[in-house]
Each structure stands twice: as structure tokens, then as C-alpha cells.
Amino acid sequence: MTTIEGSRILWITGAGKGIGRELAKLYAGEGWTVAVSARTGADLRSLASELPAGAIHAFPLDVTDEAAVTATVRTIEAELGPLDLAILNSGTHVPTDADNFTTEDVRFLVDTNFIGTVNGIAAVLEVFKRRSCGHIAVVASLAGYRGLPGAAAYGATKAALINLCEALAPDLARSGIKLNLINPGFVETPLTAKNDFPMPFLMKAEDAAIRIARGLEKSAFEITFPSRFAALMKLLRILPDRLFFMLTRRMLRS
């Protein structure tokens, strides 16, 4: 077993780029034993090269493969020791509106963003339930609060994750397992770099990682940021449909 004496063990999915990558660097710098997964092995090797040898333990993985996810969790525990925290961060985005709406795109996002996270939850619960302890953090998005133009499929997957976590949290707490829901706004990542529209309150991935890590140390269920954008999206969540659609119609492109 290669666990650093006294260190805690963390698994991050979607760690090749963006928020996941910055979280891995942050936690490794704080002395955690960090297991990272992503589809692209080259991204994980690049991440490991930025840190001292042995700081990062790479486990390439396609999160849509249920059996592979379960096997990866078992391998991490066998090689590194019992997991303390799993940050399920894998996700992607394909612009989806009425003019570019395909079953293929929607299925791809559901499989990656939603089912991929479900696979991760199921795999870590298998070991956390046996120990009656553990910590799961699920990265969704403020885009899951209400349907926004251009994000029909992406927003639907994030709304599903929000609902899933809200439903599971009381059950898991009774079993001694902590669950956090993370809802970021716009964060500078390779995905948002492809956006060709204004992104309010855009944050750097390093700052987002710090917000998440500090939020996970507290007792609140939900971690949202940036605060002003989160407040705006929470307002949209309770706005009457008539007013909400007046606003979102203005977001449509001519």
C-alpha cells in the first residue's frame, strides 16, 4: 500500500482539465493522496508531471462504463487505501437548442454528465456503506436551476444531478455518509473557451477549486459560486414562468 502516513485519500473524476485538474493540484499540495481519473491518459500524465513524483496516482477511466468505474474504485482502495472523499466532476457540454437538437447529442450528455456520475456514486457507496462513513461531492451547475436557451441537454443533466443529490442526502446522512452538491457558475475551462457569448462573473479554475475545497470543509449541503451569479440564478428559480420566459427570449439569437 502506497498511502502517505497520516494522509487522507481522495478520488477525482474529470481531473484531466479545468476544475478537476486544479482540485487535484490543490489537494496534492495539502498532503492528500490523490487518485485522478479522466478519459485521456495524456492529460493525467501531464498533470502528474506538474507535481512531485508520487503526488498524483492516475487511473484512466471512461465514467460511462459502469463495470470499469466499479473496478477503478476497488483498485484505488487496494493500491492506496480506503477512500475518504470522492469528487465526481466528470462532465461535458454540447450546445443544444431547437435548431440543433438530436437524440445523439442528448444521449451523449446524459450518459456522460448524469449516468457517469451515477456510476461513480454507486461505486463509492459500495465501500462507504460497509464502513458507515465517507464523503461524496457531486459537481452539477447553476445551469441546472432553470432551462436556459442553448443548454437544453446540458442543463437537463445538471438539473437531474441536483434532484438526485437532494433526494439522496437525508438517506446518506443517516448512514454516516456526507454528500455535497457543487453548483458553479461560469469557470474558465476548455469547454467555456468554446462559448461565443458573454459569460457573467467568469471565474478562473484555480479560484473555483479553492471555493470547492473550502466549502467541503463546512457543513452546508450546497456549494455555489460566484455568489452574485448564484443569487441571480436562485431568483430565476422562483420567478413566475411569464417573467422567466420574457427574460430568456431576450437571450435567443436572431
In DSSP notation, 161-185 reads: HHHHHHHHHHHHHHTTEEEEEEEE-
Is residue 151 situated within a structural domain? yes
Is residue 164 situated within a structural domain? yes
Is residue 102 situated within a structural domain? yes
Cell readout for 199 is 459569460
Q: What is the pLDDT of residues 114-143, one digit of tens each?
A: 999 999 999 999 999 999 999 999 999 999
- Give the pTM: 0.93
Is residue 254 situated within a structural domain? no
Taking residues 59-72, what's their average pLDDT?
98
Which contiguous run of DSSP H or E holds residue 234? helix 227-238
Is residue 2 situated within a structural domain? no
Is residue 1 situated within a structural domain? no
Nearest to 83 by CA among 91, 74, 92: 74
pLDDT the model gives residue 24: 98
Is residue 4 situated within a structural domain? no
CATH number where 92 lies: 3.40.50.720
Nearest to 142 by CA among 71, 76, 225: 225
Active site residue 154: yes
| pLDDT range class, residue 2, cuts 50, 70, 90 | very low
Is residue 209 situated within a structural domain? yes
Q: What is the pLDDT of residues 153-204, one digit of tens each?
A: 999 999 999 999 999 999 999 999 999 999 999 888 777 766 666 777 889 9
How crowded is the C-beta side of 173, counted as CA atoms within 13 Å? 11
- Whole domain around residue 138: which residue ranges? 9-249
Asked whether 91 and 113 are in contact (CB, 8 A), the reply is yes
pLDDT at 6 over 70: no
Domains identified in the chain, total number = 1
Question: Active-site residue among 11, 27, 114, 154?
Answer: 154
pLDDT at 22 over 90: yes
pLDDT the model gives residue 1: 31
